[in-house]
Amino acid sequence: MLPKRNVGLIGVTLASVGSMVGSGWLFGPLYAAQMAGPASITSWLLGGFCFIFIVLTFAELASMFPIMGGLTSYPFFTHGKFSGVLTGWIYFLCFVTISPIESLAVVQYASNYFPNLVERTGAKPELSVIGYIASAFILFVIIFINRYSVKFLTRTNTLATIWKLFVPLAIAGAFIFSPSSDFSNINHFHGFAPNGLQGIMASLSVGGIIFAFGGFQSGIILAGETKNPQKNIPLAALSSILIVTLLYCLIQFAFIIAIPGESLNEGWSKLSFTGDMGPFAGLALAAGFTFLCSLLYLDAVVSPFGSGLMMTSTTSRVLRTLGNIGAAPKAMTRLNKHGSPETSLWVCFFVGLILIFPFPGWKEMVTFLTSSFVLTLSVTPIALMVLRDKCPDVKRPFKLPFYHIMSLIAFCICGLMMHWIGFVVLLKLSIIITLFTIIFAIIKYKEGKEVFAKYNFKCSLWLVGYLIGFTIINYFSGFGSGIQKLSNFEGNTCAILFSIIVFYIARKNSLNKENVIKNINEFNLK
């Protein structure tokens, strides 16, 4: 059964916007301000600017291959089965974590009204048994809504997204025009950029900015169910990035000027104030905005729920694609009468139940997810270049202008993001990916040389080398507990040069034209 194409431009755009405006706006401004000070506004602008290049490469491929869950298919097309397996499972593990996290966020914020949802064991509040049951129920509701057609899903998400945009704008407006806000915060307390360029760059990864923008894929991954995807996918992708960039810059500005001066006496890096476990709610109470505070707590339920709704849609379609390329059971590809991947959805639910346990914290979780997420982003510019080389005559409804330069820039941006993530987190990811590759290769080799050859391991090695190379660069840098042998300029220069080298190696080390076409034909692109 083929997916139904019944989602329009507005639905796809709001799917992306809805996924990008989740718990990120509730916590991101605090962590970004701690790392970059007032220059965190610049961090959001930089993040939006960088993602435009990345999104444009995605847009060409998504309109060229408007298939359900296409993100995991591109590396399979160009670099073979194992590339698709590796990136697909990384995608899945990234995304399947988010919905449980958002359901936990809903319960934690709801505990302001229902204290029985949490209990204190020491200084840190944790979910009670009732809280865990509530989280599981919310996850079930998210899955249940996703069972119905994507048209119903996007209509549900449209209402949630309109609300999610209204509340941050209302909060930002109230802070900006509040007599208690202090515009001098922008320059006082060690200046506009107290931690310099390094603070701005680090806030993109550790401060949750990259994580916030990651939701753009929720629109692109619906390409197979979109009306006129050739036109709507590129427009929706760019529109959603611009909308969210402006929104987050406004929110960050409002947050900075609303901070009481006494909270900054020890500098931005040690920023803290009463109620900073819910940063905007704490500031709203301090400013006397009681009504807005209530509105904020309500939005703290709606925003994570809306994001969880769309990320579950994304995750189930990623899992379905893994089934299409033989990396997951074929049952994952089944669609129900509504055109939704039923089996994949319920697998996401049960995996989500396993993942509903206390995390070390939002910031720590986001940092690790960001490293995995950036690795998967890096594959798309390479795939675009290979498909232009090997399949120049294939119809491209949206052709990226100056595709060679734009793809190289997008890949270098991904490289810089890999660098800014830091050493410790990337080391953990390198170990996981390297062990996965070795174990998977041994298993397939034991199944026979013919089976082993079908996975095209040689064409996938650049991904492992790319990850290990950046781990080494980050070890010598000042990001993420590196030994600081490289200055910011030297580290960024190394990251760009290494990215350029890997870009051309990966481009050359791809499948031949016949195998690329063969892999594409394995998918029904009607």
Q: Distance from first CA to last CA of the chain, Å, rounded?
A: 11
Residue with tokens 């982003």: 377
- What is the spatial distance between Cα 29 and Cα 255, in angstroms, rounded to a whole number? 7
SS3 455: coil
Q: Which pLDDT does position 503 carry in this prediction?
A: 97
pLDDT the model gives residue 498 = 97
- In the three-class reduction of DSSP (H, G, I as helix; E, B as strand; rest coil), residue 118 is classed as strand
Token code pair at residue 305: 């729920």
Structure tokens at 364: 């720590």
Q: Which helix (H) or strand (E) holds 55?
A: helix 40-64
Q: What is the mean pLDDT of residues 125-147?
A: 81
Q: What local confidence, expressed as pLDDT, does residue 308 receive? A: 77
Q: Residue 119: beta bridge partners?
A: 126
Indicate the pLDDT class of residue 303, thresholds 50, 70 and 90. confident
29 sits in which H/E element: helix 24-36
Alpha-carbon span 206 to 36, nearest angstrom = 11
The answer to whether 344 touches 96, Cβ cutoff 8 Å, is no
Mean pLDDT of 26-31: 82
pLDDT per residue as tens digits for the range 481-505: 788 899 888 999 999 999 999 999 9
Q: What is the pLDDT of residue 69?
A: 54
- Segment 22-42 shows an average pLDDT of 85
pLDDT at 526: 42
Identity of the residue numbered 274: T
pLDDT computed for residue 194 by the predictor: 84
Residue 360: predicted pLDDT: 41
Q: How far apart are CA 188 and CA 186, in angstroms?
A: 6
* Contact partners, residue 69, CB within 8 Å, separation at least 6: 221, 224, 317, 318, 319, 320, 321, 324
Residues 437-455: what's their mean pLDDT? 89
Which two tokens mark 24? 């990120």
Q: DSSP class of residue 226?
A: B
Euclidean distance between CA atoms 257 and 199, whole angstroms: 19
For 484, other C-beta atoms within 10 Å of its C-beta total: 11
Of the listed ranges 9-13, 327-331, 370-374, the one predicted with least confidence: 9-13
Mean pLDDT for the stretch of residues 332-353: 83
Alpha helices in 216-341 (DSSP H): 217-220, 229-258, 279-286, 290-324
Give the 3-state secondary structure of 161-189.
Answer: HHHHHHHHHHHHHHHHCCCCCCHHHHCCC
Could you tell me the two tokens for 376?
């998967």
Give just the sign of the alpha carbon dihedral 354, 357, 360, 361.
positive
Strands (E), 95-239: 118-120, 125-127
Percentage of the chain surpassing pLDDT 70?
Answer: 86
Integer Rg of the chain from CA: 22
In this structure, what token pair is assigned to residue 183?
């515009």
- 262 burial via Cβ count (<10 Å: 0-12, 13-18, 19+): exposed
Cα(480)–Cα(490) distance, rounded to whole angstroms? 16
Q: How far apart are CA 412 and CA 406, in angstroms?
A: 10
**89, amino acid identity:** W
Residue 390 token pair: 């090997």
User: 81-85, 159-163, 228-232, 359-363: which range is least confident on average?
Assistant: 359-363
Sign of CA dihedral 347, 345, 87, 101: negative
Q: At 522, is the secondary structure helix, strand, or coil?
A: coil
Rounded Cα–Cα distance for residues 143 and 309 (Å): 8
Q: Do residues 420 and 202 touch, judged by C-beta distance below 8 A?
A: yes
Give the burial string for 28-47 (b: 16+ CB within 10 Å, else e).
bbbbbbbbbbbbbbbbbbbb
Q: What does the CA dihedral 502, 503, 508, 512 come to, rounded to 10 degrees? A: 120
Per the model's pLDDT, the better-predicted residue between 481 and 43 turns out to be 43
Question: Is residue 485 classed exposed, middle or buried when 0-12, 13-18 and 19+ CB atoms within 10 A define those classes?
Answer: exposed
Q: Using CA atoms, how far apart are residues 325 and 54, in angstroms rounded to an integer?
A: 25
The pTM for the full model equals 0.80
Residue with the two structure tokens 């603070």: 199
Going by C-alpha positions, the residue among 79, 54, 68 that lies closest to residue 4 is 68
The DSSP letter of residue 119 is E
400 secondary structure, DSSP code: -
**Does pLDDT of 153 surpass 60?**
no
Query: What confidence score (pLDDT) does residue 2 get?
Result: 46
Is the pLDDT assigned to residue 245 strictly greater than 90? yes
In this prediction, what percent of the chain has a pLDDT beyond 90?
21
Residues 6+ apart with CB under 8 A from 198: 478, 479, 488
CA 461 from chain center: how many Å?
24
pLDDT, tens only, 182-200:
888 888 777 888 888 888 8
Give the amino acid at 396. R
**Average pLDDT of the residues in 216-239:** 72
Above 80 in pLDDT, residue 384?
yes
